[in-house]
Amino acid sequence: MQRQAGRDAVARESNQGAGRGLFGCFGAVLCGLFLTLTSVGQAQAQNEGFQLNRYEPTAAGEWSFAVDHPWYNEGAGRIYAAGMTLNYAHKPFVLGLLKGDGFTEQRDIITHQMITHLDVAASFLDRVLVTASLPVIWVTRSDSIDQGIAVGDPRLGITGRGLGQPYKDKISMSFGIQFWLPMRGMIASVPDTASDQSARFLPRLILGGVWQKLLWSATLGLLIRPESRAVVSIPGISTGQAGRAGTELQLGLAASYFNQEKRFAVGPELLLATTAVGRDAFSRFGTSLEILLAGHYNIARMLQAGLALGMGFVRQPGTPDFRLLARLAYAPGPSGPADSDGDGIPDKEDACPQEKGIRTAERGTHGCPPLPDRDRDGVPDKADVCPDTHQGSAPDPARRGCPLPPPDADRDRDGVPDRSDVCPDNHQGQIPDTTRPGCPAVDTDRDGFFDHEDACPSETAGMNPDPSRKGCPLSDRDRDTVPDVKDACPDQPGAPHPDAKKNGCPSLVEVRDGKLVILKPVFFATDKDIILAESIPVLQAVANALKATPAIQKLRVEGHTDNQGNAQYNLELSNRRAKSVMRWLSTQGGVAIHRLDSQGYGLTRPIDSNDTPEGRAKNRRVEFTILAQTGG
């Protein structure tokens, strides 16, 4: 073995982590806890050989590889699970040279290691989980070593649930202990890298839970084992010490995106271990840090499959620079519909699937926790008009959650006692609503008829009110403002006309959306306000509609141009053209001048693009807007 500065050349992994200071501080806090173990370890001679593999699988059926998130029979809907985990490690054991706090890798002691872990688990009483795992080592190989198939130390474990359900509650707490049986004490042919000479055990605290879609776990344990050393013999290098193992503190952290309905989880897992006794206690050379990225999927609620990739960043003997894990377990789950929060209401029906709730008759609250109710009168604060006052034995029917007021109370002073006042904080005004005592009358559709007398309170009576139904319009199937009883063409949109035979029939104009819409444009002489003869029939149709509809009290003639030429000139031209049409309707069409108005807008209100001849033609137009009419 090579030496440097009086120290043995030892097989340790390269280290990118923090220095001795961090772990020394941590060790100072825990030194009292491990004082006894330290003294015992120093008094005993070191064992030779130890189980090199540092990866220990979680219980079969868990949604994690290395950081435990235990399941219990009622919470998981299963009693047992069994499976196997394939574990490949690259360079778990290397030879290197120490120089002060530095380490230089020299060569591989073990380059490839392949292990199959056979795992079983069973739960009972919804509080106890019993596990067992047996590692079978298939490959332990490098340029100088090729070990045969071997059986590692079997592991037995028991975990008890103290608080909450790990897969239903936001937080749970479990306690457990694991125990390894040394195979070298029973089978002499077991290699010294596959087994310890003495038993070891690991008491642990396990926290975990589910919050919305987050599955999280945290474990803290103390692995108690006698201090051991590995002795290797490599051709060309003398036999010597190549690494140590002993009692160590272990920390695990995991967080996954967890979709119980679709049965998959994905996320990282972190494993940190540091030697707690001996000369490497709480130093970086006695510490390992491994991170896994894992994914799991449950097939048909029967098979649990998983795949994980890992890297070692701070490495003791047994921590590889790269790890591959693959897992398959028979883990039958509940056959019924998913119920994430365990409140007995399936997720598909549960309005709050991640929170335990109660059954209600309303779909929006079914399965949700009860709403806050400060005065505990059975009316949720959100709907309670008096959230801090119990409604009592005689609740106010007009104010939910409030007690009936005293007989003479009248807050709005409208002469209607609060006990009978539907609007106790709103004066009934000069015109009260006869259907709601104490409330003012309102006219929702603004047609001049108050709601309490309006047979159609949300529909205006319009220009043609129905005399038999107060506040309602006469039937108008084609919605051309000509009621069916007067419409000569009741199923074809048209326009009002003085001639009863043409009234409501298709014409050159229609009444819709508050406008008299002309179906042909009004043409003018170029750059002038002179109306061309071809447009006279259009204007005559407008005049006929106005004369047949006296309910139209005011109509505005609007002129528009395209964007060609000077904007100010276009504005003046549009004004002149609008006035020209208004004069024609008054002098030639027989429409009273007080019913007409005109306005030019020039190029400011285009209805199409001015980039094409067609668009500019549409923008040069005359429009007729109804400003006022009877009936709303």
- The reported pLDDT for the residue numbered 547 is 92
SS3 string of 136-194? EEEEEECCCCEECCEECCCEEEEEEEEECCCCCCCCEEEEEEEEECCHHHCCCCCCCCC
- The reported pLDDT for the residue numbered 105 is 63
* CA atoms of 367 and 171, how far apart (whole Å): 20
| 441 located within any domain | no
Could you list the residue range(s) of the whole structural domain that residue 183 is in?
3-330
- With beta carbons less than 8 A apart as the criterion, state whether 553 and 630 touch: yes
The residue behind tokens 């050349």 is 9
Total domains, the chain = 2
| 198 located within any domain | yes
- The reported pLDDT for the residue numbered 168 is 87
| 407 located within any domain | no
| 206 located within any domain | yes
- The reported pLDDT for the residue numbered 233 is 56
Q: Is 29 helix (H, G, I), strand (E, B) or coil?
A: helix
We report the CATH number of the domain holding residue 131 as 2.40.160.40
The residue among 315, 330, 345 that closes a domain is 330
- The reported pLDDT for the residue numbered 9 is 36
| 609 located within any domain | yes
The residue among 313, 330, 347 that closes a domain is 330
| 237 located within any domain | yes
| 485 located within any domain | no
| CA distances from residue 40 to 36, 44, 45, 100, 458 in whole angstroms, order as listed | 6, 6, 10, 28, 91
Give residue-wise pLDDT tens across range 575-607.
999 999 999 999 999 999 999 999 999 999 999
* CA atoms of 137 and 199, how far apart (whole Å): 19
The residue among 300, 330, 360 that closes a domain is 330
We report the CATH number of the domain holding residue 603 as 3.30.1330.60
- Per-state percent for the chain, helix, strand, coil, to nearest 5: 10, 35, 55
The residue behind tokens 């807008």 is 601
Q: What is the DSSP string of 543-589?
A: HHHHHH-TTEEEEEEEEE--S-S-HHHHHHHHHHHHHHHHHHHHHTS
Give residue-wise pLDDT tens across range 552-571.
999 999 999 999 989 999 99
Which portions of the chain are predicted below pLDDT 50? 1-45, 238-241
| 344 located within any domain | no
* CA atoms of 266 and 64, how far apart (whole Å): 9
What one-letter code names the amino acid at 107?
R
- The reported pLDDT for the residue numbered 428 is 87
Please name the helix (run of DSSP H) or strand (run of DSSP E) that holds residue 80, with its range, or none: strand 80-99
Angle at 18 between CA 15 and CA 24, to 5 degrees: 115
